[in-house]
Amino acid sequence: MERFINILIIEEDRKIRIGLKEMLTGGGNNVLLAKSLQDALPTLEKKEIGIVIINIEESKSALSVLKSLKERIGFNHQYIILIANEGCSTMKLVKGIKQGAVDYITTPFNPNLIRSKIEVYKSLFYKDQRIGQLLGNIFPENILTELSNSGKYSPKRVQNGIVLFTDFVDFSSKAKNISPLGLIKRLEFYFTKFDSIIQKYNLEKIKTIGDAYMALAGVTENQPRPAIRACLAALEIRDFMRTERDIAIALRRDFWEIRIGLHMGPLVAGIIGSSKYSFDVWGDTVNIASRAEEVTKSGHITITSNIFDGIGSYFDADPRGKIDIHKRGGSIEMFYLKKVKDQHSMDGDGLFPSTKLRQICGLPSIDFDQMRAHILTRLRSLLPENVLYHDVPHTLNVEKAAIRYAKLEGIESDELLLLRTAVLYHDAGYIHSTDDNEDFAMNMVEYMLPEFGYTEDQISVVKGIIEATKSSVEPRTILEEIMCDADHDYLGRPDYYAIANKLRKEMVNFGEVLTEDQWLQYQLDFLEHKHHFYTDTAQNIRDIGKKARIRELHKKQLAPKT
């Protein structure tokens, strides 16, 4: 698995800067250069830098600046290495270490020693990232912040927290007819989808209990209208399960159905345990939400009056009357949640929230997830069979590369969504034609994206990114440059030949047949004379591989013919 890191070298001496870059380039290192801290500040503020290599003289004032910048921007996993002269005093090095540096290298450089040290801190950086991701999967962000700042988390009382429960119908009987491994894989498939929906609407997953799934809204996050967001999430989970059921019926396979229940009320949230921590919530609200799920018909959602009173103007719901609450006694009025009201849905049929409703809830105005699912479905079903290179795997590979470049370049999340949108559509024109396919793709974007809440300005940006993939157009913006580089990312990867072979087969399908010599020359003409990477990131992490491909192709040309 490829892993990448931004390494920033701050050094006034150009010879040292370039020498270090040549030593460290390759192996996933995106090496960035700056003459001074002042020169480096824009890079530090925009991009996540894993390792900073800085001259010890510059570091006298720089380390305190880096420390404050790290705290302000939130770079939690940054390693600072000092550059020192061979005769540098121990006192200077000790002072630098005390100020936040973790190691030092001395001139004249020992390339092998420097590469070894960098590999150590890269491993620590990746490990820090992985630990951060794991902790983020276990604890809400605000709890992690409080734990890191004070080492503890104080229990919190929430007056209007929402609890969402799901449960599979007749799970015990279905579990008897499936292998243990098959059961786990099935649960993982559903719960993974639930996770993505919960995350989409800024809810917080708490835990799974057997086949039950529990999530919260209005407890850990600071987003408006938690009851609406929770209902939107419940509807999307229900509709996903209905789609899976319909597919299973059509294929004559077994299917699972679900019940969902929601309630809003007071909760206490906290962490329990002394060695294995667990975040949880307690209160009568949990019991009532569980009861709402328990009395729900298969494939339906039950909400209590506490929730309906706050969301009734946006959703259609059928009253169920008062339902008894076991154990605690008493009863509460409940409703079957049906759909978003037509006037508040994006397409007028109650399936997805309108742009205005999304904005009311603090959600992005565009529904990227629905757009992505929609265009990938169209590509899978409508791309001609003879399109072997510009296929769905290519689109997904380009999307993956674009995300990687965007992260290394420090692209904001809103811009990243527009970039990914352009990636997903950039080869969609092959549905209609191989000629001028970019123009067809831009027409599709203009026609289809308004359905998912994209504004005219956003559509214009997406169209510009797609247009930049034309051979006759030069990219003008960083997003357009990333698009072009991601589209040709494979040119510098080890899987180049497998992908290039797909391109050759596609060319044959469209009537362009090349001999072996012609194919070698075709590749070399493109790699040497027509293509170049635009972003510094692509030049740093892919140019070495691309040059290796060129050398390999020249060797093939010169090899004796058998």
Residues 388 and 434: their CA atoms lie apart, in Å, by 12
- In Å, what is the CA distance from 349 to each residue of 227, 345, 450, 494? 21, 7, 16, 47
What are the sequence ranges of the domains in the chain? 5-138, 141-360, 368-558
Cα torsion for 126, 130, 131, 136, to the nearest 10°?
A: 140
The residue type at 323: I
The CA R_g of the chain, rounded to the nearest whole Å, is 28
Confidence band of 74 (pLDDT split at 50, 70, 90)? low
Dihedral sign (CA 24, 25, 31, 33): positive
Q: Which of 226, 236, 295, 237 is nearest to 261 (CA)?
A: 295
Domain 368-558: assigned CATH number? 1.10.3210.10
Domain 5-138: assigned CATH number? 3.40.50.2300
User: What pairs with residue 335 in β-bridges?
Assistant: 303, 319
Confidence band of 279 (pLDDT split at 50, 70, 90)? confident
H helices of 267-412, where? 284-294, 305-311, 355-360, 368-382, 392-409
- pLDDT digits 0-9 by tens, 129-172: 888 888 777 777 777 777 666 666 678 898 999 999 999 998 88
Structure tokens at 419: 């970039």
- ∠ at Cα 371 (367, 372), nearest 5°? 115
Residues 522 and 507: their CA atoms lie apart, in Å, by 12
Burial level of 465, CB count in 10 A (0-12/13-18/19+)? buried
Contacts of residue 90, defined as CB under 8 A and 6 or more positions apart, other chains included, come to none
* 141-360 is a CATH 3.30.70.1230 domain: yes
- pLDDT digits 0-9 by tens, 239-262: 999 999 999 999 888 889 999 999
Q: Which of 282, 203, 264 is nearest to 235 (CA)?
A: 203
Residue 34, Cα to own-chain centre: how many angstroms? 29
Same fold, 5-138 and 368-558: no
Give residue 351's pLDDT.
76
Mean pLDDT, residues 88-100: 74
Burial level of 351, CB count in 10 A (0-12/13-18/19+)? middle
Q: What is the pTM of this model?
A: 0.86
